[in-house]
Amino acid sequence: MHPGHPDVHLVLLRARSAELRRQARLHHLAHTVRPPRPAHHPPGAGARRTAAVRRRIGWTLIEVGLRLVHSGRGVAAP
């Protein structure tokens, strides 16, 4: 063990803990800051557009599935 004060390891642990907390804050800030939105897009426009595309794809897949089932090609072989 280190020949210094018996509690020197506590000082080192506190210093390392403070350093790790600072790094965690910087990491959190780096991942929460978003680039500003362009002025011509209202807030939430991208989410609405994405939801509309997902909804359309979902209904298209349902329609294709129903067509396959009714044509007999969608039935799994035993």
Rounded Cα–Cα distance for residues 35 and 56 (Å): 29
What pLDDT is stored for residue 30 in this prediction? 73
CA distance 25 to 30: 9
> Does pLDDT of 56 surpass 90?
yes
What's residue 59's pLDDT?
92
Confidence bin at 41 (pLDDT 50/70/90): low
The model carries a pTM of 0.37
For residue 32, the model assigns a pLDDT of: 75
Token pair 């080192």: residue? 12
Q: Where are the domains of the chain?
A: 1-34
**Residue 2 tokens, joined:** 């280190």
Confidence grade of residue 26 (pLDDT, cut at 50, 70, 90): confident
* 65-76 pLDDT, tens digit each: 888 888 876 555
